[in-house]
Amino acid sequence: MDLSPLSNHESLEELWGEEEEPEEVEAVFKVFPSAYHQYLDVLLKVKAEKLPPHRTCDHHTKLEGSLPPAGVINSLSNQ
């Protein structure tokens, strides 16, 4: 099984587009093992800052209040 991210692409520019700095792409390739190179697009800053496209399965979460209820937060310390 070939996990090389460039196996179906001509170049890094084709893989990630010209939005990324070549130095950033190369740095990410060097840090992560080759088995994870197919998932590296989510680690690049420009890609990570974008929202996914809207889909037919999008839904809204209805919150009963916009603020959490007032009260004492349980302490997790032993003191």
- Model confidence pLDDT, tens digit, residues 59-73: 777 777 777 767 777
**pLDDT exceeds 60 at position 18:** no
Q: What is the mean pLDDT of the chain?
A: 70
Tell me what pLDDT residue 2 has.
44
C-alpha to C-alpha distance for 62 and 29, rounded to whole angstroms: 40
C-alpha to C-alpha distance for 72 and 58, rounded to whole angstroms: 35
Sign, Cα dihedral of 55, 56, 58, 62: positive
**pLDDT exceeds 70 at position 9:** no
Those residues with Cβ within 8 angstroms of residue 40's Cβ, 6 or more apart along the chain or in another chain: 5, 28, 29, 32
